[in-house]
Amino acid sequence: MSLGEPREHYETVTSTNERARQLAETGAPHGALVTAGEQTAGRGRQGRSWSTPRGQAIAASLVLRDYDDLLPLRAGLAVADVVGPSALVKWPNDVWLDGKKVAGILVEARQDPGWAVLGIGVNVAVDPATLPPDAAEVAGTLGLSPDDVEPTLTRLLEALEQRLGEESPVTLAALRERDALLGKPVKWQDGEGTGAGIDDDGALRVTLDDGSTTTLSAGEVTLTQRDS
């Protein structure tokens, strides 16, 4: 069954991920989709809020029952495929365009029974100036019209289906070409260093100031302003 079937669409919803989790827990099939014209309590990574102005952005959550550990990376790459050749993926799955965040992804999974909910938000026609100050500072937009939201979602589902079905080395090679952190100074909870690429397990490699290398498999990573 193709991604996006069956589909529930709401004019307004608190969180598409919340509704998709309910569907997953009651046996919804792989590919079931929840979308909304407006989200009032959307969530991003690290517990952040994600604003979805009415009719201006993709707010979508998929129930997946066939996936691997690279799911967040595959999803970020699929979004970048749709955004265009200038889009970069900020590990693990934020999508940036012209130095601004245009899309975010949140994955919530349960091993028993096995399912994942993949939430995707894309600022298709959002004016960042209308967002809350904390979001407006980093938010970007595709600069399209509200009429482009649904066609963009269609292309995204097609790109995601392709990325979910391809071999891991293909995904990782494509990610390395779009790596927003490569050669950039970064910091995380326990330290800072310079982005040194993505390894074969999908972890972020970082070169430390003493020349040694470490890998990050989870957690929040931010770009810093210090000289690289």
Q: Which of 141, 149, 126 is closest to 53 using CA atoms? A: 126
Record the pTM.
Answer: 0.90
Pull the structure tokens for residue 122: 């894309």
DSSP assignment of 81-93 equals HHH-TT-EEETTT
Contact 192, 186 (CB under 8 A): yes
Contact 157, 84 (CB under 8 A): no
- Give the side-chain half-sphere CA count within 13 A for 10: 20
Alpha-carbon span 124 to 146, nearest angstrom: 7
Block residue for tokens 């399912």: 115
**In which band, very low, low, confident or very high, does the pLDDT at 227 lie, cut at 50, 70 and 90?**
very low
Contact 72, 217 (CB under 8 A): no
| Adjacent-strand bridge partners of 194 | 185, 207
CATH dotted code for 7-177:
3.30.930.10
The ranges of the chain annotated as CATH 2.30.30.100 are: 185-223
Alpha-carbon span 17 to 86, nearest angstrom: 28
Tens digit of each residue's pLDDT (9 = 90 or more) over 42-100? 555 544 555 678 899 999 999 999 999 999 999 999 999 999 999 999 998 899 999 99
- Give the side-chain half-sphere CA count within 13 A for 9: 9
Q: Is residue 134 pLDDT above 70, yes or no?
A: yes
The ranges of the chain annotated as CATH 3.30.930.10 are: 7-177
**In which band, very low, low, confident or very high, does the pLDDT at 132 lie, cut at 50, 70 and 90?**
confident
Pull the structure tokens for residue 133: 């100050």
Tens digit of each residue's pLDDT (9 = 90 or more) over 189-205? 888 999 999 999 999 99
The CATH class, in words, for 185-223 is mainly beta
